[in-house]
Each structure stands twice: as C-alpha cells, then as structure tokens.
Amino acid sequence: MIFSQSRTLISSINIRLILFFLSVVACSISTSASAQNNELSAIEDSVIKIYTTQAAPDYFTPWRLLTPRQSSGSGSVIEGNKILTNAHVVANASYVQAQKHNDPQRYQARVVFVSHEADLAIITVDEPGFFSDLKSLSIGKLPDPLQEVSVYGYPIGGKTLSITKGILSRVEQQIYAHAGAYLLAGQIDAAINPGNSGGPVIVDQQIVGVVMQANSGGRAENLGYFVPPSIIRHVLKDSEDSVYDGFPDLGFRTQTLDSPSAKAAYGLRKNQNGVLIIKVFDGSPTDGTFEENDVIMKIDNFDIAEDGTIQLSDDVLTDYKHAIDMHHIGDEVLVTYSRNGKEAVAKIKADAPPESYSLVKGEQFDQIPKYYIYGGVLFVPLNMNLIKRWGNDWGRSAPVTLLQARNEWVSPEKHEVVVALQVLAADVNLGYHDWRNWIVDDVNGEQIRDFEHFSQIVRNNTQENIVLENKNGYQMVINHRAAISSEAEILAQYRIPAAFSTGLFPE
C-alpha cells in the first residue's frame, strides 16, 4: 500500500514536471515567434514601393521624347532618411513617388544620387514625418555560398509586399544590364520579377544585396542577380559629397595567359601567372608606366591567376578588375608587373575614366541627345543609346557598320563616330533621300575627331560645298548656300523645333 502511494506520488510529480517543461517550451517558442514577427515587421516597414513616370529621349528623332510610361520598383530605407534602389528604376524619370508598407498614400520623392554604372540610386522623401516610424537597415557582409537569403519587394501581380527565399549560388563579375558595366554581382535562385528591382536581399536583418536583374536568356529559370555589399558601400561613400566620381579605370586592356607558350614568350616562369597588356591608352593613368606586352601579375595583395581571376575568399574567385573597382578616385593602386621577365612595382593613382575608351560611348541616361540638321540631313554621334533603339535584338537588327565600330578604340585623332542617320527629303539633298545610317569620316578632306568638331567644321564652312566622305571613299555633297537658305523651311515642314541640340554651339 505504501509502495503504491509512493508510485502515485512520483507519477504526479513527473506529470507536473512535464507540464511545467512543456509550458516553458511553449512560452519560449511563443516568445521566439513573437520576436521573429517583430523583426519581420520592422524589415517589411523598411521596404518601400517606388512609382516612376519615365520619358526617355528618342534617339531616332532626338528632338523628341518617347511616350511616357509608368513603372514601379522597390527600395529600402537606409541611414540618413535615404531610400536605396536601382538606378534603372529612376532613370529618365520625370516624376517619382514612394509608398510605405500598408500605407495607401503615395509621397512625392526626389533623386539624390545616381550611379548608373553600379545600377544604384538614392532617393528621399521631403514630407515631414515620412521616416519617423521606419527603421533604417544597415549594410551587411556578402553571404557565404549556399547561404539562404530573403528577397523583399513589390513584384508585378499584386500590390502587397512579397518575400521570397533562395540561396546564394555564385559570386563573380557580371555585365550589369542597365548600363553595361562589368562589376561584381551575386547570383541567387529566388524568384525575381519586374517590380522587384531595387528591393533588398536580407540576411540577419541586414542588406546584403540590392536586386537588379533576372536572367533573361531563356536557358535558365529562377536565376536573379543582385548588387553585392562591396559595390553598395563604394557607391554610398561616393555619394557623401553628392558628386558622382564612379569607379576608376587605370587605362589598359588585357588578355589572359592560359597558354604555356605565351607565358614563356613574355618571360614568365612556370610558377608565375598574370594577364598580358594589349593596349595602353594615351593620357591614361598608366600611360608612360606600362607598355604593351607587359604582364600584370598582382593588384595590391591579390595575385592574378592565368585566367585573370583573383581569390576574394576560399570560395569566391572573380575577375582581377574587382581589385581596381574597390578603389576610389585619387587612391593609390599598387601594381606588380613583369617586363621581359623582370618584375617591378608601380604605384598608380586611380583616376576617373573618360566617357569611353571605345569609339562608341556606352548608354547614357538623364541626358539630352546631341544632333545637328544640315541640308536636311540628320547627323548624330554614335552611342549605345542609338544602337539600342533598334530594339531588344539590337545585336542582330542594328546596321553592321554601326555595330563594328564598337570594337574600335579611341585615339588622339578620333574620339567619336558621326553618323548621317537619315535624310529629310528636300530639294537641297536630292539624290540622297534613301541614305541612312551612314558613317562620316571626313568633311572637305579633314578627318573628324568627334561630333563637336564635325559640327564646328560644317557651321564655319566658307567653301561652296560640303563634301562628306566615309573611309571607303563614298561621298555626299551638299551645297552650303542652299543648305543655309533651306534650313527654316525644312524645320517647319518636318515640325522640328531647332536645327541642333541645346548646348551644341555655346553662345
């Protein structure tokens, strides 16, 4: 009987202990869930929906704008009452609005800083109290490969905030779709759709990336790319004085040295690696220091492999260009190189690159296109804005001669390509009405340096005729007096406001 009572007492105590333990666990789970919900809510409130009205110039008729279009993107609140987003979300924007999570009101916003190169922009809202209930998110570190990340944003298909998860699958240099820059990017397998652009990639309540583009090649699914923390920090530091400096370029071009024969030919031993300099640009930071056929072996403390990569961590390899990208204008870059088998070290001052080392300048945004109408012929500088006007398949549909010019370097004699884009039919240009997309190399026997040079030659001409010629010898001849006298009539006939773009001829 005593034994039976003791057993009953022990059982009762055990049950009470179990119940107490379960209540503690339940309380702990509840507290943890509540904390997670609070953390999630804070992040959600910091993600902003951005509305823009964009009106880009029409580079086929550069005095006009394309039809305005409305689009949306995402952004995240960072320190200083700023919202971090993509540059392409606000590019060519005439009107920008910001909307908070679970708030139907839209607030007018303004662009504070843009890096089209890095596809990043900073906007803000001047409305008093807009940021008072919003937590600013800090910039974290690059996640490890295979680490899970969360993507926040407002993709198409709904009005509410969307959160998707994925893993970091790759980190390496990529072509940024917005402006064509070649910078470090992270690849994730989370679903990314239009409207996600500019949204944060989150790990441990910190921004570890900014969503910028999805894979559009059609050969892969659920692949997206984000701007990594190193690029974000570079842009944020650049923005401190509100003057855009961008990423430096030391002014040389290279090719890999995978071939053992090539390595030996340029004086490298079997245990040495690097990249071969094939071009040093006149007036660049390395002009006079490096020569063609020098081998760049090391940038700062990064050894360059034979395939042109450097090791950022045990798991991450990327192009050596990243070691240069992380510098700011005015920094000193330490470069180890070999010339005819002899090693040397050079200290190069990082400088802002020119508009382009190619004869065809990269795509520009928030700018007025240049043009000049003379004798009813529309002349424009060749750039990627014009080439991309042939549509998404511009690599196939744009004229071959214009595409080929992208492979030519600038030189002291030639900085830019001038194109006779179209002929506005009139008596002064009879015989040339079907001429289009024609590159002009010389005017009255003088080689053209750039579009401004071309425009000045034509405007200041004192000869009877203007003779335009390309490198193959084909010519277009315009009577100068007839071109001047017919200008007003041609502009009125084709409803063109001016014969040339604003600022082409400073008064």
* pTM score: 0.88
Q: What is the mean pLDDT of residues 238-259?
A: 95
- What pLDDT, on a 0 to 100 scale, did the predictor assign at position 40? 64
Q: Is 328 a catalytic residue?
A: no
Confidence of residue 23 (pLDDT cuts 50, 70, 90): low
pLDDT-based confidence at residue 158 (cuts at 50, 70, 90): confident
497 pLDDT exceeds 90? yes
- Cβ–Cβ contacts within 10 Å for residue 135, how many? 14
Please enumerate, as own/partner, the contacts of 406-411 that have beta carbons within 8 Å and a separation of 24 or more. Answer: 406/358, 406/359, 406/360, 407/358, 408/358, 408/359, 408/360, 409/279, 409/281, 409/357, 409/358, 409/359, 410/281, 410/354, 410/356, 410/357, 410/358, 410/359, 411/282
- pLDDT given at position 35: 38
pLDDT at residue 55 above 50?
A: yes
Helix or strand (DSSP H, E) at 25: helix 2-45
Split at pLDDT 50, 70, 90, the class of 355 is confident
Amino acid found at 408: E
* pLDDT band at residue 366 using 50, 70 and 90 as cut-offs: very high
Residue 80 pLDDT greater than 60, yes or no: yes
pLDDT at 385 over 50: yes
Q: Residue 7 — pLDDT band, cuts 50, 70, 90?
A: low
From the CA atom positions of the chain, what is the Rg in Å? 30
Q: Where are the alpha helices (DSSP H) in 46-184?
A: 87-90
Contact between 325 and 234 (Cβ < 8 Å): yes
What is the percent of the chain where pLDDT is above 90? 84
State mean pLDDT over 359-385. Answer: 96
To the query of whether residue 433 is one of the catalytic residues in this protein, the response is no
Three-state DSSP at 341 gives coil
pLDDT of residue 354: 84
Pick the catalytic residue from 46, 116, 119, 239.
Answer: 119
For the residues 396-406, what does the mean pLDDT come to?
96
Would you list the DSSP string of 203-268?
ETTEEEEEEEEE--SSS-SS-EEEE-HHHHHHHHHHGGGS--------SEEEEE---HHHHHHTT-
Which is the catalytic residue, given 72, 76, 88, 178? 88
Task: Assign 489 to helix, strand or coil.
Answer: helix
pLDDT grade, residue 192 (50/70/90)?
Answer: confident
Helix (H) / strand (E) containing 102:
none
Structure tokens at 350: 């990082």
* 23 catalytic per annotation: no
The residue among 296, 304, 283, 305 whose CA lies nearest residue 254 is 296
161 has pLDDT over 80: yes
Q: Are the beta carbons of 369 and 385 closer than 8 angstroms?
A: yes
15, pLDDT greater than 90 = no
Quick one: average pLDDT of 290-305?
97
Residues 210-237, mean pLDDT to the nearest whole number: 84
> Residue 22's pLDDT is what?
54
Percent of the chain with pLDDT over 70: 90
**Whether the predicted pLDDT of 5 surpasses 60:** no
Taking each continuous run of H as one helix and of E as one strand, the counts in the chain are 11, 28
Local confidence band at 118 (pLDDT 50, 70, 90 cut-offs): very high
Reported as a pLDDT band with limits 50, 70 and 90, residue 252 is very high
Amino acid at 153: G
Report the mean per-residue pLDDT for the chain. Answer: 91
> Using an 8 Å Cβ cutoff, are 53 and 68 in contact?
yes
Instruction: Find the catalytic residue in 46, 72, 76, 197.
Output: 197
Q: CA-CA distances (angstroms) from residue 409 to 191, 275, 387, 406?
A: 39, 20, 17, 8
